């Protein structure tokens, strides 16, 4: 299958170190891979987390008591900071990028969805890399995406992507905890396989992203069911995106079946 469009979702845990600071070299490696694919006429739509952490880096501990308002403030401050990072690195590679912020309403059938499609198609036709994120600053809690994995899946469907790649901090889906010696990585999973039993509950701190492996598994299966092969792989692994597009056995691949 010829790949022309790939949606890549990169999580907060890929973009940050243990001190929750944004890692410049990781962003640079992401953009380098996108530029490699661009030269092959493969367009990447990047769904990037990190705005809340980037805002928290600037503001430190915020005195606001309401958790959702605090997240809005962190995200509103952090989003332009993330885009400045991306804009600068893409510019170094002679490429252009654009910010596309969305709420769940934008994907509902009707004029909002049609408007989103026009936006993405317009950007892609001009060779501009769309960078998508939830518009946390104005999203209503009741209509928020469960996490950016869900947003990435909706974007993949919207742009008729050939693949969805979800980058996280593990090598893929394992039969137990990734650190256990007797755990094995599953290279390929069909949507009718019962692999949910392998998922460990994850503990995350504030600003660290909302999506654990349980969410990723649900989204990966759901997207694969729409005939978009989906991968869960380690975002800090060198050349991971290009290797997946090249058909190498990296991460866990989910296919319809």
Task: State the DSSP H helix or E strand holding residue 47, giving kind and residue range, or none if neither.
Answer: strand 43-48
The answer to whether 136 is a known ligand-binding residue is yes
The model's confidence at residue 143, banded by pLDDT at 50, 70 and 90, is low
pLDDT in tens, 8-17: 999 999 999 9
Give the pLDDT of residue 168.
93
Query: Reduced to 3 states, what is the DSSP secondary structure of residue 131?
Result: strand
Task: Tell me the pTM.
Answer: 0.92
The answer to whether 9 is a known ligand-binding residue is yes
Q: What is the mean pLDDT of the chain?
A: 90
Can you state the angle between helices 213-224 and 148-158, rounded to 10 degrees?
10
pLDDT in tens, 183-231: 899 999 999 998 988 886 544 444 444 457 888 999 999 999 999 999 9
pLDDT in tens, 62-121: 888 888 888 889 999 999 999 999 999 999 999 999 999 998 889 999 999 999 999 999
Domain ranges for the chain: 4-255
CATH of 4-255, one of 2.40.128.720, 3.40.640.10, 2.130.10.10, 3.40.1160.10: 3.40.1160.10
The answer to whether 169 is a known ligand-binding residue is yes
The answer to whether 49 is a known ligand-binding residue is yes
């Amino acid at each position: 299958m010829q790949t022309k469009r790939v949606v890549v979702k990169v999580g907060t845990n890929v973009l940050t170190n243990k001190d929750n600071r944004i890692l410049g070299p990781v962003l640079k490696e992401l953009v380098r891979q996108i530029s490699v694919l661009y030269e092959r006429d493969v367009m990447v739509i990047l769904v990037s987390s990190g705005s809340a952490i980037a805002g928290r880096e600037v503001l430190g501990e915020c005195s606001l008591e309401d958790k959702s308002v605090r997240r809005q403030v962190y995200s509103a401050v952090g989003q332009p900071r993330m885009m400045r990072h991306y804009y600068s690195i893409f510019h170094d590679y002679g490429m252009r990028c654009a910010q596309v912020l969305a709420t769940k309403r934008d994907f509902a059938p009707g004029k909002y969805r049609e408007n989103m499609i026009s936006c993405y198609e317009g950007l892609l036709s001009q060779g501009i890399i769309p960078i998508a994120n939830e518009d946390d600053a104005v999203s209503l809690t009741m209509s928020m995406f469960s996490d950016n994995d869900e947003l990435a899946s909706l974007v993949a469907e919207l742009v008729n992507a050939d693949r969805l790649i979800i980058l996280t901090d593990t090598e893929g889906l394992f039969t137990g905890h990734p650190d256990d010696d007797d755990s094995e990585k599953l290279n390929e999973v069909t949507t009718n396989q019962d692999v949910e039993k392998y998922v460990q509950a994850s503990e995350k701190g504030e600003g660290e992203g909302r999506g654990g492996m349980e969410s990723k598994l649900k989204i990966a299966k759901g997207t694969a069911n729409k005939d978009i092969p989906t991968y869960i792989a380690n975002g800090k692994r060198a050349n991971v995106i290009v290797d997946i597009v090249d058909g190498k056995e990296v991460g866990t691949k989910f296919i319809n079946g």
